[in-house]
Structure 1
Amino acid sequence: MTGGPVPGKRTTIRDVAKSAGVSYQTVSRALNDKGEIDTTTKQRVLDTAKRLGYRPSRFARGLVRQDSTSVGLVIPNLLNPYFTEVAAGALEAARRRDWHVVVYDTADDPDQELSTLAVLGSQVDAVVGYFGQPDDVIDRHTGGMPVVQIGRETLGSRFGEIKVDGEDGVRAAIAHLAGSGRRHIGMLDHDHDHHHDASVRYTWYREAMREHGLPTYVTGAAQSIEGGQRAMAAMLDEHPELDAIFTYNDVIAIGAMFQARLLGRRVPADFAVVGFDGLAIGSMVEPPLSSVRIDTRAVGATAIDQVSQLLAGTKPDSATIRATLLLRGSA
């Protein structure tokens, strides 16, 4: 057994479990006077918890049943409906297991992400989500807790991972636009000033355009309807010859479509618009938005499935969600 509490570090239920030589579920049952635990083990756990100075967090006592698995879902922006749909998929999958999901919004801010990681250890049993921090930083803050990363490779770490592969979907979108006679197809990428580099979605667009021998046009856009409007206005001012636009996501696409119509472009008669994500909101605009569709519910559900495997001690295989072209009315 290990010694007493470490100054400046909050003792977690996992610390008690490690010191007592039992699972964290056993610690939870002992602390909450649940059944299925013998008297000797229960007393050992209680003595260990007292020696280490463990106390359940106010959060855990008030919001999460100690005999139930809780998962922290970390997302960069709840206002973006893509992440809302992913969260819905995770919540649905967790409910089937009688698990709890607590959502953390980092506002796409690195400092807020670090603050979120700093409090996760005492609040949940596993973490899934979108992270900008390096793997070693995430590992240090989560201390052996199961972690599933969405949208990026984990470079062989202990984490589960879910990758989104939109290459074939983007290729299909450009082929459709080129096949309908479009020759000047631009792209509104994410905000390059904020993210510094062009996105992998731009790489997919560029390669697809090369396959058809077409020139590329790109500018960055803030990930909002207003951002799409501003970027579309600037791009059409610089390149009035454009007859189609592909965008980093559906929110940008909706703004771009609004702006194109304000500038007198008929959609899709003389100007086509294709987004990326395939969100439900795309069916609520006129004309309905064509998009490279990601099964957002499957992303959330797969994350919960991987958590289940990690909690059982198994490293899950990397999962890939592949995009497909969803044609509606805008292209």
Structure 2
Amino acid sequence: MAVTIRDVARATGVHVSTVSRTFSAPNLVSTPTRERVMAVAAELGYRPNRAARALTTGRTHNLGLIVSDIANPFFPPLIKAAQAYAREREYHVFVADTDEDPQAEEELIRTLAKQVDGVVLVAPRLTNQAIERLGLELPFVVVNRRVKGLSAVLMDIGHGTELAVEHLAGLGHRRLGLLSGPRGSWSSEQMKRAAAVAAERADLRLTVIGPNAPTERGGIAAATAVRDSGVTAVIAYNDLVAIGLIEGLGELGTEVPADMSVVGVDDTVAGRLNRPKLTTIVMPTPAAGRTAVDLLLQAVDEDGRTAAQATLATDLVVRESTAAAPGVADTGA
């Protein structure tokens, strides 16, 4: 027969209500008692009834996680890390994909709001005003976007962009291109600002090309504009755009890195397997997934009354897609 809450209470020597609070509101139970109850429950194989607990606590113990394009290799490591961390906290995660459509994003949020305690919104396409309005209805954590009144996890793409500019300057490049992302992208705007500052500091000429779709096709479509811009090196919005750009440049007879150096963003498996292997800005996606769930559970516990922000470091990994500028001896930078 299935182990019941009364079996756990009897074996632990506490009241049934204490066992119930251990699972529904552990902060209300002393640490020694909570640990004893959890140990006995594990030994007996007891699993709390999620539906009953939801009725008692008003919590579903479900979280929503919405991404803009689940096919983009940037997202799976973040999703897996978020799910694993949530599972450790006895939460389940519902994952949804908006296909880069802000209207679909809002519809998904409203649908999930009936089934979850809070939502992690990753690289959203909605306006800040729309997100603020939806944030009044349930707790939110936004990844790679600052929204007033909401907790956020930011990956310091600005620092990574500066490292990329410095790397390319060290290779002798004097004219740089920045292949921006979709209109309204927070990450793209941070990259533009950081690239402009770093380029001015290094006395380089910067050309921004975009907006562009954040996909391989977006990179292919931008290849002609990149070739005709006169730049000798490009920082692309993400690895997919960089891979598409390399493909498109190849079709135009421009070789990477001999004729054009290309830097991606994200450090995805696709970039590591590409030929040439991508030099790229490393984004801490697993850490972002874990941190986002942690901040969301804090927001759920506090009914969204407080907002916290975490900023995660980025780095640059140099591989095969960058080289000395044409006509410049390789300095080994």
TM-score (norm 2): 0.72
Report the CA distance between 1:123 and its aligned residue.
0.8
Give the whole-Å Cα distance in 2 for the aligned partners of 1:253 and 1:133: 25
**Deviation of the 1:245 alpha carbon:** 1.1
1:205 to 172, 192, 195: 195
Aligned identity (percent) is 30
Q: Distance in 2 between matches of 1:120 and 1:218?
A: 37
Give the number of equivalent residue pairs: 267
CA contact (8 A) 1:86 1:300 kept: yes
1:218 Cα deviation from its structure 2 partner = 2.0
Q: Please list every run of 5 or more consecutive structure 1 residues that lacks an aligned counterpart in the other structure.
A: 1-34, 38-63
Q: Deviations over 1:170-205 (max 9, x none)?
A: 11111111111112221211245x879972212211
Which segments of 5 or more consecutive residues in structure 2 lack a partner in the other structure?
1-18, 22-48, 54-59, 323-333
Cα-to-partner distance string for 1:200-249 (whole Å, 9 max, x where unaligned): 2122112211111111122112211121011012321x23x432111111
Q: In the alignment, which of 56, 76, 85 is matched to residue 84 of structure 1?
A: 76
Q: Which moved more, 1:200-209 or 1:283-292?
A: 200-209
State the 1:103 CA deviation: 0.9
1:126 to 2:109 alignment: no
Q: CA offsets per residue over residues 90-127 of structure 1, 9 Å max, x none?
A: 11212222321101212222221221122222111111
Query: Superposition RMSD on alpha carbons, in Å?
Result: 2.7
In the TM superposition, residue 308 of structure 1 has moved relative to its aligned partner by 2.3
Q: Distance in 2 between the 1:228 and 1:327 partners?
A: 20
Q: 1:189 to 1:140 in 2, by over 3 A?
A: closer
Instruction: Indicate yes or no: 2:100 matched with 1:116.
Output: no
Once residues 133 and 227 of structure 1 are traced to their aligned partners in structure 2, the CA distance between those partners, rounded to angstroms, is 20
Question: Cα 1:260–1:200, aligned 2, differ >3 Å: closer, same or farther?
Answer: same
* Match among 20, 23, 40 for residue 36 of structure 1: 20
TM superposition shift of 1:75:
1.3
What is the alpha-carbon distance in structure 2 between the residues aligned to residue 286 and residue 196 of structure 1?
29
- Residue 149 of structure 1 corresponds to 142
Counterpart amino acid of 2:113? Answer: G
Instruction: Tell me, in whole angstroms, the C-alpha distance in 1 between the residues paired with 2:186 and 2:283.
Output: 24
Give 1:219's aligned residue. 209
**d(CA) in 1 for partners of 2:173 and 2:87?**
46
Equivalent pair of 2:266/2:281 in contact (CA under 8 Å): yes
The change in CA–CA distance for 1:196 and 1:327 in structure 2 (over 3 A counts) is closer
1:309–1:316: 8 Å Cα contact kept in structure 2? no
User: 2:205 is paired with a residue of what secondary structure?
Assistant: coil
Report if aligned partners of 2:157, 2:190 keep a CA contact under 8 Å in 1: no
For 1:302, what is the secondary structure of its paired residue? helix
SS in 1 for 2:234: strand
Asked if 2 retains the 8 angstrom alpha-carbon contact of 1:164 and 1:322, the reply is yes
AA partner of residue 274 (structure 1):
V
